[in-house]
Amino acid sequence: MLNNQVLIREILVGGRPMILETGRLAKQASGSVLVRYGDTVVLVTATMAGHVRAGIDFFPLTVDYEERFYAVGKIPGGFIKRESRPSEKAVLSGRLIDRPIRPLFPKEMRNEVQVIATIMSVDQDHAPEIAAMIGASAALHISEIPLKYPIGGVIVGRVDGQFVINPVLAQIEKSDMHLVVAGTGEAVMMVEAGAREIPEAVMLEAISFGHDSVKEIVNFIEKFRDEALAIGLAKEKVIPDIAEPGNDIIEAVTGPAEEKLEVALRRCVNEKLIKQARESYLDDVKNELAGQFIETFPDQENLISTVIDAVEKKIVRRMITTEGVRIDGRALTEVRPISVEVGVLPRPHGSGLFTRGQTQILSAVTLGTISDEQILDGLGVEESKRFMHHYNFPPFSVGETRPMRSPGRREIGHGALAERALSAVIPTEEEFPYTIRLVSEALESNGSTSMGSVCGSCLALMDAGVPIKAPVAGVAMGLIKEGDNHSVLTDIQGFEDHLGDMDFKVAGTAKGITALQMDIKIAGITQEVFEQALAQAHDGRMHILNKIIEVIPAPRPELSPHAPRIIHTTIDPDKIRDVIGPGGKIIKKIVEETGADIDIEDDGRVFISSVDQEKGKIALQIIESLTKEIQAGEIYNGRVTKVMDFGCFVEIIPGVLGLPGKEGLVHISQLEHHRVNKVEDVVKEGDMILVKTIGYDNQGRLKLSKKDVTPAPEGKVPREDRGDRPRDRGSRPQRRREFGRS
């Protein structure tokens, strides 16, 4: 029998109502919630497969964030007028939801779970990604899917020093931070931030402020589930079949594994084996161990390996928390050896090579014109962007082989994090009128290539002569938590990331944080851990910044000889047509003759770019000649272009490259102080003469005077000097009376 009940409940988030509804739409999904926040409407569904996906050793969770262009009343661009592959914003929003909920499922779960957030209406003052995150939490929580706890999420901004929950568009433009906080009622699970050099103490305060709102949202979702369960719209939780080792396997394998792995791991530490040697050696030890039990437990290779891996993880974590010993022998706060190089590539406009341990990033920057901006076809208010950072992770960086494909979610996420970290120091368009594209190639990977990309890209920007406000560096922090004991690790490598409980990435300048990203694998961390992690990250960041400054203390004073030189000027918007010409004839001629690229904005801004700066200057002179506003009273040395009976035409600004110049008419009465009977008696075609502008006629044509720049004959008073001379014949009425008497 169908349940026709509908549950609708409301909560205030950031002082504005958010409405959750279930029971009306998408009722065949395991859980379905419609979220309305302002005029933003998002449908979120959660569905779980009824069987275990065989042959995998991970939890198959998928979060899809589906943007619909009808949500903002737009038709998609391009030839195919329908939504296709997800935008970068959609990929990042999907990751934003995935990261805080993934740790809250049973570790051994192998049933596929899919969360789909369909963006149906967007009000730019109410972020759809936040509505989608809360909707995902609620949809999972009312379903049978075994999510341990619901989560909440908010954006924290800071306007005029005051924190704001889910700032509206006008507040976002004034805010010096954009912080996303997601978590359970007990702890923070995920943090994502971009900021304008915010101090660590302020960032901590902002996270705590955001978590207070998260707690209210979590309590609301708990009550929402309780009410939905009471009327049959929520389901009892189901724990799927989970393949776990039996006690017999655990008891048989654990002892021998602890004995051999303890020795093997100690050897790795003492000999400071590098990644490849360590992995090969430990794989041999674990394979040998597994081989001892295959006959006893046939067809149980996966479960035997699971026990051996659990023992390895236990030993490594114990060594760190009780002895302060890391697998490569470093101290807990020690950064791996760093190598910094700039100018490693001859033709790109700037390049930097950053190596930290066995993580190596080569970054290159390209400077382009304003027309090279990326056009954004999405649901946001931004239509283009002039600063881009892209990240590539080829398989050879970890010694593997796999097909080369287009960037995946991880590559897009890492590229966006580094872009956010550097955005705070990129000069404005007025200061540096270039489009800037950075590409970071991960040549070697053993921990935190995203933070390596921040450092390599900073080097490339300074090598290119981009006037960034300050150097930026980044470092990744880790956490090992065993009971009440915890250890925060500076500059984690891949092995520690895999076995640890936290990946906490912090980037910034010497002044403060510009980007922050935290992912937790356990049920949240405390304020104390946050403070310690940020303090250690600050020390690590300063260490790396000092290494950068030793090699290149400031941006180069000159751009690369291969980079375009951009000249920026502004003209009257009404004069744009004079530069473009009919059918683009004039601007095409300028580009053809000078080789310069010219971009003209609707507001009159003109950007002239050319690798040859002299040709750019020629193009500027041409544009200035075409758009110069002639004012009355200016004096020019002009060329007589045509002689007529009534005067002569004089070109005061010569045409260039066969393009017309500016000319005006010197009327015959303006040639000399005495009466001129014939124009040719004074000037001939081709003569160079001084003229003065005296205004425009009724048809907007320029009027010139030769007479006004020629000294008057002795005894002759120039016309403009006669106004103050007293009349000596009396007033006009007086003269009339005198004439009448005579």
**What 3-state DSSP class applies to 72?**
helix
Burial pattern 430-464, b for ≥16 Cβ within 10 A else e, equals eebbbbbbbbbbbbbbbbbbbbbbbbbbbbbbbbb
Nearest Cα to Cα of residue 387 among 508, 468, 448, 475: 468
Torsion of CA 632, 634, 638, 640, to 10 degrees: 30
Residue/partner pairs of 677-682 with CB below 8 Å, 24 or more apart: 679/643, 679/644, 679/645, 679/646, 679/647, 679/648, 680/643, 682/706
Per the annotation, does 484 bind a ligand?
A: no
Q: Please state, in angstroms and rounded to a whole number, the distance separating the CA atoms of residues 103 and 518.
A: 13
Query: What is the spatial distance between Cα 84 and Cα 25, in angstroms, rounded to a whole number?
Result: 24
Cβ contacts of 678 within 8 Å, gap of 6 or more: none
- CB within 8 A of 107, min separation 6: which ones? 59
What is the per-residue burial (b if ≥16 Cβ within 10 Å, else e) of 547-573? bbeeebeebbeebbeebbbbbeeebee
Q: Is 377 among the annotated ligand-binding positions?
A: no
The DSSP 8-state label assigned to residue 636 in this structure reads E
Q: Are the beta carbons of 618 and 594 closer than 8 angstroms?
A: yes
Q: CA 641, 644, 648 angle in degrees (round to 5)?
A: 45
Beta bridge partner(s), residue 181 = 154, 191
Tokens found for residue 117 = 């957030």
What is the distance of C-alpha 708 from the center of its chain?
60
567: Cβ contacts below 8 Å, ≥ 6 apart? 607, 608, 609, 616, 617, 619, 620
3-state SS assignment for residue 440: strand
Q: d(Cα 481, Cα 488) in Å, to the nearest integer?
A: 9
Annotated binding site: 497, 503
Residue stretches of the annotated binding site for Mg(2+): 497, 503
